[in-house]
Structure 1
Amino acid sequence: MFHKTFSLFLSALPLSVFAMESVDVISTEKAEANVEKITIEGAATANNKPVGTFNSPISNLEYDPRVDLQSRNMAEAQADVTIRGGIFENTGFRVGSATLIDPQTGHYFAEIPIAPEMLTEPSIFTGVDNALYGVNSSVGTVSYGWRPIQEAGSVSVGVGNNNFNLQRVHGAVKQQLKSYPAWSVGVEGEYSRSESDGTIANGDHQFERASGRVQLASERSQTDLFYGYQQKFFGWPNLYTPFDVNETEDIETRLVMLNHNQRYGEKGNESAFEVSGYYRENDDHYVFSRENPESFQAFHETQVKSLALSGTHNLSPDFGINYSAQITADDIESTTLENNFTSRDYYNISVVPEYRTQLNTKESITVRLGGAFDDTNRDEDRLSFVGDFNWFTQTGDNASRNLYLSYAEATQVAGYTAVGGSTTSGLFRSNNQLQREVSKNLELGASFDEQSWKVDTAVFYRWDNDLTDWTYSFDSTSARSANPVDIQTLGFELIAIKRFDNADVVASYTYLDKSEDYGIEGVDASFYALNYPPHRVTLGLVWFATDTVEVRIDNEWRKQETNALRNGSDSAFFSHVTLTYSPAQIEGLNLVLAVDNFWDERFEEIPGTPGRGEQYSATVTYFW
């Protein structure tokens, strides 16, 4: 079936030059008009806040059609974010120009202690843009930018079932400099905490986050100095193992980041660059059994230092150079790793020239051709090729069509848990023979923009070689083992948005088909690489019912690939419903009633790990 479908895909190539890949919005207006996009800023989901804790950068991504979020407890507790059928370790998280790396495991990639008010909506990089801007993320990157500070503030108090409670305060001020009126200085900070007994037994959590930044900004530049701290304790049955035990995690994350964004050059042909430097520390304490913690527990302390640069330098209206580079050094102290594989240096540089041609007053063609180089002090280096062809047409007033064809290669190396632990015993069995992973992506796509609607669609075929997967054998005493696998993935995605007078609707459909080869016997189940939905549908609605009442609904239906470890159904239907009342008599006051998992689905997003239950909450917020 898979190879027959691939043959149909190849035969359709000449007829299928339609769709676009997802891409971030870079600083120059010219570059923004020419890069590929399947990103719909701020409209990928109806809701933007969770029900069972405070908001975080990855909140509500489980309903985002561009990614597949597989959670333990809830998304804000443990988020494995996958893109286009990859696994969580194939997905990078980028803030400014820098990809945030966790050297131990991709389970901690999404530990980002930044208040969402400080960041732009996430853009999803795939294909050429992931190869250009991503680092050690072979399939995709979730990218955020730093927002300009706006004077505002809020205080929130929330309660819910399962003894849930939440408190949060956020504030920002900005002052124009009297001696330099073109410049302003801003300060922004927040503190958030929440706790709950959990939506199932032994699924409790205690979270808190404090973050702040100082910003210096002008018309053509912005500099941010940020510090964030986050502490999370949570429990969940079968959190990582299928042995019917109640496991816990205690995670502390600290992040210091300095970011500078600069535009330069003549108006109409501006260039831009962004420099980001960060220090990230992530400490975790894992307990296999909360009833018997001495049976097995692990401590890990990781430190990462990184400097990154990206931008576009336009030499003329017809030619520019896109570039990105990042240098990263990490180390880990662990009670479970062996030998001397406890530090690594990463080097990445990408250069992709861009050629732009105006065919007539309404049509233009953009061609990008270049490459990326990746290396570490412990692994073999690799040079990757990237390129795309983009045809943009203005089809009417406030209407356009964008077509593209692209090919991109990207690469990454496995984390320490996969390569640095015991290869013969233990709960999590490593594999010190793992090689550099290589991904090759061929894609066709289109975007159609009208005044009141937008449609983005793409069809892709991806070759993943030596992908590191975690597998299970019924004859093994380990919870899981790291094994390489070669996978071929065929995918199709469609995202549509329609705006009405008093409502916005976003709908999507995603199709995935995989063919895998582990090269060994004894693989009875895959926790990640083969844990994907062949069919997935999302439907979001924002209904402005009255001047004071707003209703937001996100729905997701999926048919998951059969897995020997999964208990219960392979299908699931989730809904997240929010009702907001803003009384006209009290300006700035909001009352929010919300429910997640409205139908109380118990679908196992991670095979063998119990699914979340239903969560209700009521939150009062005062804005100023």
Structure 2
Amino acid sequence: MIRAVITTAMCIASTFSHSSFSAVVVEKNSERPIESNTENVIEKDIEKITVEGAATANESPVGTFNSPISNLEYDPRVDLQSRNMAEAQADITIRGGIFENTGFSVGSATLIDPQTGHYVAEMPIAPEMLSAPAILTGVDNSLYGANSSVGSVAFKWRPIQTAGSVSLGMGNNNFNMQRIHNAVSWSVGDSSQWKAGIEGEYSRSESDGTIDNGDHQFERASGRIQLLSDSSQTDLFFGYQQKFFGWPNLYTPFNVNETEDLETRLLIFNHQQQYAQESTFEVSAYYRQQNDHYVFSRENPESFQAFHETKVKSIAASGRHGLTDKLALNYAVQFTADEIESTSLENNFTSRDYYKISLVPEYAIALKDNEHITFRAGAAYDDTNRDDSSISLISDVVWHKINPDNSARTVNLSYSEATQVAGYTAIGGSTSSGLFRSNDTLERETSKNLELGLSLDEATWRVDSAVFYRWDNELTDWTYSFDSTSARVANPVDIETIGFEFIAITRMENADFVTSYTYLDKSEDYGDENIDASFYALNYPPHRFTLGVIWYPGEALELRVDNEWRKQEKNLLRNGDDKAFFTHITLTYAPPQVEGLELVLAVDNMWDESFEEIPGTPGRSDQLSATASYFW
């Protein structure tokens, strides 16, 4: 279910550019959904419930257990391009960028994988532990993101509440899944202000895959302990995940059956603190180790295989310090150190240190009752011990008004810059041979974003819209030439992108809807006439529609439907049509005779769409499943 966490707070309306619209959510102690904003909080002396929502009707996958990125392929705020399925290997792109431009953050820290952006979404964390994802673009990404030039997918740690569940699932393609989750929270001593909690889960799944040689075997174990008070929350987390999966043409267009075996360990410490008036800070530290075993041909493993081990250590802090009732300082800082051991990348450049500091002062002017303008202007400083440093400007102006009927209007105009450096696969391997050819001349990537956004928030509906113009310089793309023996070559490209986004959420008596339309137009310059095709930078939909529906035909039944239609840019490597229509349907029955029991029938890719999300890589087929879950 899409669940709500309801607190009494002072809440601030969010604009689409701040990535904070949400779809329908379920109100606590109620089976009716409500619409809401996912952002923090706002207007003084206004008591409001703060809810966490999702941007899709469904939040659980059909072919494996749930993960933090499950069902993001139907999220209007991002474009997920998967191999096998989203939970196997997912490239998350935002606003026409590529997977390398997207960051993933938990708490204040951005998780990176120094080998390649293909693995930044490898987070062995149970979704119950995290908030719904916020999509940070423009100013918010420049301020809080690290080494992510276009956008970030941001998660926060939820307070632990006593609850648990066990699930068993099965489906076509010999799919089977088992999962158990439990959380316990209790008061500390005689004080009701302090609570302690412990939470853990174990999940596994396997199947033969929706197409031949598309099998998978997944396993995840994660747990955390928590100390919670009225003004602070401290979490200590450890997660382990092992994934094996295969897919034809997984990364290459040479008609071979490739496989990947990934093992991820993640240790995170996180502390959130509220202090003074409208002041908060958060400190995050993590250690991440990832092992990757890639096999080019499962029938002939010795023809080419590669082993990689990456280790990342990081500490980060972010917050907002209120100086006066009008003036505040927003800030973020992160230090990250990584290293890699690889059988196919060079032995000289195998470690790097990253530094980022962002300072953005904020000034608010009250125009009249419940109406104000906020100005933010600052900069971010990025540096590494391997690359030149960079200073990026961050600025916006936001007009916000709350009407007497509690409806809200928000308009924002922003200009922001962000920057990042290339991963080891792009810059650290051979420049003259191999399946994946690197480029040691790649420079720091920069992105500049000019944006105008409008948000309308009413009692039963919400609209978010934005138009933006982005300049990407020295963007690292992976390209292909028909006369080359390499599968992919890293090359820089300058791209100008014009985009428009529109998202509407509405609530009716027995149903809720979220719909969206996205338009993108790109102008690119590779400076090389020998490049015939782009795997990523030019793999985008000029037109994309989504429609999510949650229907309540009765007290015991719930129907959730997500739809996506897209018209993809033409690509010489793509086999088949450039148009696609995907549908994910879930029917849930909760028999009133057994409290806590849910029976779920689900199907993904209902129309058996064979669209190649990555040019030259076969698309997934349909997947059906039946799941029984018991909640306590």
Q: TM-score w.r.t. structure 2 length? A: 0.93
How far apart are the structure 2 equivalents of 1:428 and 1:232? 22
Structure 2 partner of 1:545: 553
Match of 1:315, as an amino acid?
A: L
Structure 2 partner of 1:474: 482
Residue 181 of structure 1: CA displacement? 3.0
Match of 1:334, as an amino acid?
A: S
- Answer whether contact 2:210 2:620 (CA < 8 A) is retained: yes
Residue 544 of structure 1: CA displacement? 1.1
How far apart are the structure 2 equivalents of 1:398 and 1:283? 51
- Answer whether contact 1:28 1:270 (CA < 8 A) is retained: no
Structure 2 partner of 1:96: 107
Residue 316 of structure 1: CA displacement? 1.4
How far apart are the structure 2 equivalents of 1:26 and 1:419? 38
How far apart are the structure 1 equivalents of 2:279 and 2:151? 25
The match for 2:221 among 196, 199, 210 is 210
The match for 1:376 among 374, 384, 391 is 384
The match for 2:186 among 154, 157, 175 is 175
How far apart are the structure 1 equivalents of 2:229 and 2:173? 47
- Answer whether contact 1:20 1:404 (CA < 8 A) is retained: no
Deviations 1:341-377 (A, max 9, x none): 1100000000000101110003100000000000000
Structure 2 partner of 1:219: 230
Residue 33 of structure 1: CA displacement? 12
How far apart are the structure 2 equivalents of 1:198 and 1:43? 27
Residue 396 of structure 1: CA displacement? 3.4
Structure 2 partner of 1:29: 41
How far apart are the structure 2 equivalents of 1:153 and 1:20? 34
Match of 2:231, as an amino acid?
A: R
- Answer whether contact 2:43 2:370 (CA < 8 A) is retained: no
Secondary structure of 1:29's counterpart equals coil
Secondary structure of 1:294's counterpart equals helix
Structure 2 partner of 1:560: 568
Structure 2 partner of 1:525: 533
Does residue 1:44 correspond to 2:44, yes or no? no
- Answer whether contact 2:38 2:52 (CA < 8 A) is retained: no
Equivalences for residues 358-397 of structure 1 within 5 A? 358-397=366-405
Match of 2:271, as an amino acid?
A: H
- Answer whether contact 1:473 1:523 (CA < 8 A) is retained: yes
The match for 1:585 among 582, 585, 593 is 593
| Structure 2 unmatched ranges of 5 or more | 1-13, 21-36
Deviations 1:43-99 (A, max 9, x none): 410000000000000000000000000000000000000000000000000000000
How far apart are the structure 1 equivalents of 2:209 and 2:347? 39
Does residue 1:515 correspond to 2:523, yes or no? yes
Does residue 1:503 correspond to 2:514, yes or no? no
Residue 397 of structure 1: CA displacement? 1.4
How far apart are the structure 1 equivalents of 2:413 and 2:145? 20
Deviations 1:219-243 (A, max 9, x none): 0000000000000000000000000
Deviations 1:497-531 (A, max 9, x none): 00112111000000000000001121100000000
Match of 2:551, as an amino acid?
A: W
Q: RMSD of the alignment, in Å?
A: 1.6
Structure 2 partner of 1:615: 623
Does residue 1:431 correspond to 2:427, yes or no? no
How far apart are the structure 1 equivalents of 2:608 and 2:53? 27
- Answer whether contact 1:151 1:174 (CA < 8 A) is retained: yes
Secondary structure of 2:17's counterpart equals coil
The match for 1:60 among 61, 71, 74 is 71
Structure 2 partner of 1:488: 496
Secondary structure of 2:401's counterpart equals strand
Residue 545 of structure 1: CA displacement? 1.2
Does residue 1:136 correspond to 2:147, yes or no? yes
How far apart are the structure 1 equivalents of 2:525 and 2:554? 55
Secondary structure of 2:148's counterpart equals coil
Residue 166 of structure 1: CA displacement? 0.2
Secondary structure of 2:124's counterpart equals coil
Deviations 1:300-355 (A, max 9, x none): 00000000000000011211000000000000000001141110000000000010
How far apart are the structure 2 equivalents of 1:339 and 1:231? 26
Secondary structure of 1:261's counterpart equals strand
- Answer whether contact 1:43 1:506 (CA < 8 A) is retained: no
Match of 2:444, as an amino acid?
A: R
Structure 1 partner of 2:406: 398
Secondary structure of 2:125's counterpart equals coil
- Answer whether contact 1:27 1:263 (CA < 8 A) is retained: no
Structure 2 partner of 1:5: none
Secondary structure of 1:89's counterpart equals helix
Structure 1 partner of 2:23: none
Secondary structure of 2:97's counterpart equals coil
How far apart are the structure 1 equivalents of 2:214 and 2:38? 40
How far apart are the structure 2 equivalents of 1:172 and 1:218? 17
How far apart are the structure 2 equivalents of 1:225 and 1:338? 35
How far apart are the structure 2 equivalents of 1:342 and 1:137? 20
Distance 1:73 1:102, change over 3 A: same
Residue 573 of structure 1: CA displacement? 0.1
How far apart are the structure 1 equivalents of 2:516 and 2:40? 29
Does residue 1:81 correspond to 2:92, yes or no? yes
- Answer whether contact 1:193 1:208 (CA < 8 A) is retained: yes
Secondary structure of 1:130's counterpart equals helix
- Answer whether contact 1:184 1:216 (CA < 8 A) is retained: yes
Secondary structure of 2:576's counterpart equals coil
The match for 1:146 among 127, 132, 157 is 157
- Answer whether contact 1:28 1:271 (CA < 8 A) is retained: no
Q: TM-score w.r.t. structure 1 length? A: 0.95
Structure 2 partner of 1:301: 309
Residue 27 of structure 1: CA displacement? 9.1
How far apart are the structure 1 equivalents of 2:45 and 2:156? 18
Does residue 1:106 correspond to 2:102, yes or no? no
Deviations 1:101-151 (A, max 9, x none): 100000000000000000000000000000000000000000000000010
Residue 182 of structure 1: CA displacement? 1.3
After the TM superposition, which segments of 4 or more aligned residues of structure 1 sit over 6 Å from their partners?
24-28, 31-34
| Structure 1 unmatched ranges of 5 or more | 1-17
How far apart are the structure 2 equivalents of 1:619 and 1:28? 34
Secondary structure of 2:268's counterpart equals strand
How far apart are the structure 2 equivalents of 1:314 and 1:415? 37
Structure 2 partner of 1:234: 245
How far apart are the structure 1 equivalents of 2:286 and 2:396? 31
Residue 32 of structure 1: CA displacement? 11
Identity %: 71
Structure 2 partner of 1:6: none
Tell me the number of residue pairs that the alignment of Structure 1 and Structure 2 aligns.
600
Secondary structure of 1:359's counterpart equals strand
How far apart are the structure 1 equivalents of 2:631 and 2:64? 19
The match for 1:351 among 341, 355, 359 is 359
Residue 278 of structure 1: CA displacement? 0.2
- Answer whether contact 2:116 2:424 (CA < 8 A) is retained: yes
Distance 1:582 1:396, change over 3 A: same
- Answer whether contact 2:109 2:317 (CA < 8 A) is retained: yes
Residue 180 of structure 1: CA displacement? 3.4
Residue 40 of structure 1: CA displacement? 9.4
Deviations 1:188-209 (A, max 9, x none): 0000000000000000000000
Does residue 1:329 correspond to 2:329, yes or no? no
Structure 2 partner of 1:127: 138
How far apart are the structure 2 equivalents of 1:40 and 1:477? 52
How far apart are the structure 2 equivalents of 1:201 and 1:33? 60
Residue 30 of structure 1: CA displacement? 4.2
Residue 20 of structure 1: CA displacement? 3.8
- Answer whether contact 1:28 1:263 (CA < 8 A) is retained: no
Secondary structure of 1:545's counterpart equals strand
- Answer whether contact 1:160 1:615 (CA < 8 A) is retained: yes
Structure 2 partner of 1:595: 603
